[in-house]
Copies of this chain bind each other. A is one copy, B any other.
C-alpha cells in the first residue's frame, strides 16, 4: 500500500513537473524587479503608497467612501525598457473577484503595451488568480530580443499593493521615459475609472493618451463622482493643463444644478488660465426602455447644460461643453449593462470627443 502510494506520487509529481515545465522556461531563469525601479506613468500627484492616485491624508475631509476609490490604481502604468524575450509579473490586489460587469483582467489584472514603429501596441495581459490576492504569470513570450519600450497598465478597479516585473536573468531592464505630454485631469465616474473596458489599457483615458500623446489622468471614482465641495477643492488643487469633467452620470439632477457651478468656479479660482471642459453623461442605453432612468439622464444632461450656460453668460472664459448625444452610436450595442460602455461604446465615445478636446489642449 505504501509502495503503491509512493509510485503513484512519483508519477504524479513527474507528470506535474514535465507537464508544467518540460518545455517551458524555468522560473529560475526569470529575475524579478520591484516596479519602483522603473517609471510611473499617469500619476495625479505624489503619494506615500505608490499605487494610490491621491494622497488622501492631504485631503483629510474627503468622505471615506471616496477615499477608498482613490486607492485603486486606475490609469497608472509602469514604463520600462527591456530586451528580454519574455516578460512576467507578480502582483497583489486587495480584491479577489471582479464585479459582474467587468473581466477579472480589467478589475485586478495587468495589461502590457509595447512601442512598435512609434505606436503603442497591445502586447499581453496578466491574468489574476481567482479567489487569491496574489497573482503571478507570463505576460508575453517569444519576443525577438530587441530592446523595446513597454507600458504595463495596473488594475483599474482594485487597489494594487505590490508589483514586480520579471525578465530573463540575462536580459537588461531599465526605467522607461514618460511617454505622454501635458496633464489633462479627467474627473468622473466609473466610466472614467474604466468599468466596462475589457482590460486596464482600454479605459478611455488610457486609450486617449496612447492615441493623442497627451497625458489623460484618471480621476474616475466609481459611483461617487458627485462634485462635493471638498472634492471640488481637491480637483482644483491638482495641477493640470486642462480639466475634463465627466462627472454628470453619478450626480442627481438636483445635485448637478447645485454643484456644477461651484466645481467649475473653484477650479477656475485656483487655475485662472486652464481650459475647463464639461461633458454630458453618456445616454444610458437602459434609459431607452426604463423610462425613469431615461428621464433622469435627460434631466442630468439638461441641468449640466443650464449650469454651464449660466457661467458662460456670466462671462467666464475658456470653458467648453461637450454634448453626449452621439457618444455610443445608434445600435444600442455599446454598453456592458445599459450604463457602462463596453470597448465598442468606448471606441465610439473616443471618436466623438477627441476632435472636440484636441483643439482645446493644443490652443
Q: Which residue from B124, B289, B342 sits with its C-beta under 8 Å from A124? A: B289
Stretch at the interface among A32-40, A245-253, A273-281, A332-340: A332-340
Copies of this chain in its oligomeric complex: 2
Which of chain B's residues have a CB closer than 8 A to the CB of A285? Answer: 122
Tell yes or no: A97 within 8 A of B by CB.
yes
Cα distance, A337 to B123, chains bound together (Å): 9
Q: A101-B105, A103-B103, A344-B344 are in contact. Are A122 and B336 (CB under 8 A)?
A: no
Give the residue of B100, B114, B288, B290 whose beta carbon is less than 8 angstroms from that of A289.
Answer: B114
List residues of chain B with CB within 8 A of the CB of A101. Answer: 103-105, 125, 127, 198
A199 near B: Cβ within 8 Å? yes
From known contacts A100-B104, A333-B202, A336-B103, infer whether A121 and B342 are also in contact, taking CB-CB under 8 Å: no
Enumerate chain B residues within 8 angstroms of A100, measured Cβ to Cβ: 103-105, 109, 125, 127-128, 130
Q: Which residue of B lies closest to A337 (CB)?
A: B125
Q: Which residues of B contact A131 (CB under 8 A)?
A: 97
B contact residues around A141 at 8 Å (CB): 290, 292
Interface presence of A347 (CB below 8 A)? yes
Task: Indicate if the CB atoms of A202 and B122 lie closer than 8 Å.
Answer: no
Interface: A307 (CB within 8 A) = no
- The 8 A CB mask of A256-272 against B (1 = contact, 0 = none) is 00000000000000000
On chain B, the residues within 8 Å of A332 by CB distance are: 121-122
* Contact count band on A: 35 or more
**B336–A97 contact, CB under 8 A?**
no
A316 lies within 8 A of chain B by Cβ = no
Contact of A286 among B99, B140, B144 (CB under 8 A): B140
Which A residues, 128 to 161, have Cβ-Cβ distances below 8 Å to chain B? 128, 130-131, 140-144
Residues of A at under 8 Å CB distance from B? 97-105, 109, 114, 116, 121-125, 127-128, 130-131, 140-144, 196, 198-199, 202, 207, 285-286, 288-293, 332-333, 335-338, 342-347
16 other contacts beyond A101-B198, A344-B344, with CB at 8 A cut-off? A97-B131, A100-B109, A100-B125, A100-B128, A100-B130, A121-B288, A122-B286, A125-B338, A127-B337, A140-B290, A142-B291, A143-B289, A196-B198, A198-B343, A333-B347, A342-B344
